[in-house]
Structure 1
Amino acid sequence: MTDQEMDKILRIRTEGTIEILQSSAHYNRYEATPYSVLDALFEIYPLRSTDHLVDFGCGKGRVPIYSAYRFGCIVTGVDLNGRLLQEAFFNLAEFRATQKRFRGSIEFEQTTAEMYEIQARQNVFYFFNPFSVEVFQTVIHNVLESVELHKRQVDVILYYPTTAYVYFLEEQTPFERIEELPIPALSIDNEDERILIYRYES
């Protein structure tokens, strides 16, 4: 099934890559995670209805809406860009209008990732290279501080991870890699085309 076909099923519009001038050079362009990648991820990492996923750099809302649709879980999308979030809210309204029995929960927040306050029950954090490693480091430190205050297991999911992201997690944090998933259907020669999952429990 193509991305366009899945968008049509969900009644949302999340396709495309958009270069938008951000207020910070640390934030990258919008590009939605392909549904095929999400399907591959969820085959090995199914979410529970009690999970609370946070998508940093959620853009138009594909990952939050699809995750909540598939698993009935709680999802928060965080993005700095108001134009993208306006489209995310529109997509959410269209999705909810056709999903009368939907039991998940989806919220969007407009803020910088560094300033976003990690909530006590959030336990899965998703990143598709939304910002620089400096911002990523701050976000991960915020997650770890939250875990120390509210003891729990937390997972970090990286799609198409940069070397800097991987080095930081593996060399400077207590997170341990628990899964690596290549995405050969999209790219044969690019070793960065993969999903990495890390876990920490305090």
Structure 2
Amino acid sequence: MQENYYDGVFNIKTKNDQKGFPDSAHYHRYEATPYLALDRLFDKYTITKTDKVIDFGCGKGRLNFYINHFFEANVVGIEMNEKLYIEALKNLDRYQKKNKKTDQIEFECCLAEEYEITSADNRFYFFNPFSVQIFMKVINNILRSVTNAKREVDIILYYPAKEYIYYLEHQTSFTLKEEIALNDIYGNNINERFLIYRLC
């Protein structure tokens, strides 16, 4: 129900998952975060107009449009798959017909580890888009950026991989700020949750 409702409100198409598998074993198949999960996340976690959110493995851009619609924040979607990137651009074109603040949404077609972190980027979203090896490279890029421009940074993990958690908690200065459970929605699957890590 919510999948159809929000896609309709935003005038986009994000429901179908990626068919087949990526060419690289390091990059995982696209799957959009359920709108029901996003509702729960942003009921408890606040994004402001001054935040800039980077969505690694953005697919067709669902998170980008959701955040822009409700919070008017800047959002950049990073997608390595050219077909999904084109779908995201088509969604942006559709979204523009019903919304005014589309200059706050960007999509880039590149590998996650090649995206250049800017001093404005401060919220980073991951729904297990790639292997822990790529994740480590991306986190190191973020940490280097913070060294050059001190700021508060959050890492938001949905359905968090154990390897991601271990790396953040044992090899970085990020600390767990909040856990948002979804087991009342999805049953007893302990992986159905958001973990938010903060670097201050």
Same fold (TM over 0.5): yes
How far, CA to CA, are the matches of 1:55 and 1:47 in structure 2?
14
In 1: Cα distance, 2:60 partner to 2:42 partner:
20
CA displacement at 1:23 relative to structure 2: 3.6
1:135 deviates by 0.3
SS in 2 for 1:90: helix
Letter in 1 for 2:3: D
Where 2:8 maps in the other structure, the secondary structure is helix
CA–CA separation in structure 2 for the residues paired with 1:179 and 1:91: 31
- Give the match for residue 34 of structure 2: 34
Mapped partners of 1:107, 1:83: distance in 2: 16
Aligned-pair RMSD on alpha carbons? 1.2
Aligned to 1:175: 174
Counterpart check, 1:119 vs 2:141: no
Q: Report the alpha carbon displacement of residue 186 of structure 1 after superposing the two structures with TM.
A: 3.6
Aligned counterpart, 2:74: 74
- Counterparts of 1:151-190 in structure 2, within 5 Å, are 151-190=150-189
**Residues paired across the two proteins, number:** 200
CA distance in 1 between counterparts of 2:185 and 2:135 reads 25
Aligned equivalents of 1:113, 1:93: Cα separation in 2: 24
Quick check: 1:59–1:79 contact (8 Å CA) kept in 2? yes
Residues 1-202 of structure 1 mapped to structure 2, 5 A cutoff: 1-100=1-100, 102=101, 105-201=104-200
Cα distance in 2 for partners of 1:65, 1:2 equals 15
Q: What is the CA distance between 1:19 and its match in structure 2?
A: 3.1
Q: Give the whole-Å Cα distance in 2 for the aligned partners of 1:148 and 1:42.
A: 28
| Residues 21 and 28 in structure 2, CA contact (< 8 A), matched pair in contact too | no
Change (3 A) 1:2 1:12: same
Are the aligned partners of 2:96 and 2:102 in contact in 1 as well (CA < 8 Å)? no
Per-residue Cα deviation, 1:3-59 (whole angstroms, up to 9, x for no partner): 111101110000122134434210000100011111111111121001000000000
- One-letter identity of the residue aligned with 1:130: P
SS in 2 for 1:19: coil
Q: What is the letter of the counterpart of residue 58 of structure 1?
A: C
Equivalent position SS for 2:77: strand
- Give me the TM-score of the superposition, normalised by structure 1: 0.95
The answer as to whether partners of 1:71 and 1:104 remain within 8 angstroms in 2 is no
**C-alpha contact 1:79 1:113 (8 A) present in aligned 2:** yes
- For structure 2, list consecutive stretches of 5 or more residues without a partner in the other structure: none
SS in 2 for 1:55: strand
Structure-1 separation of matches of 2:16 and 2:181: 23
Tell me, yes or no, if the aligned pair for 2:67 and 2:73 is still in contact at 8 Å. Answer: yes
Distance 2:135 2:116 in 1: 14
In structure 2, the residue corresponding to 1:17 is in which secondary structure?
A: coil
The residue identity in structure 1 corresponding to 2:76 is T
- Matched residue type, 2:147: E
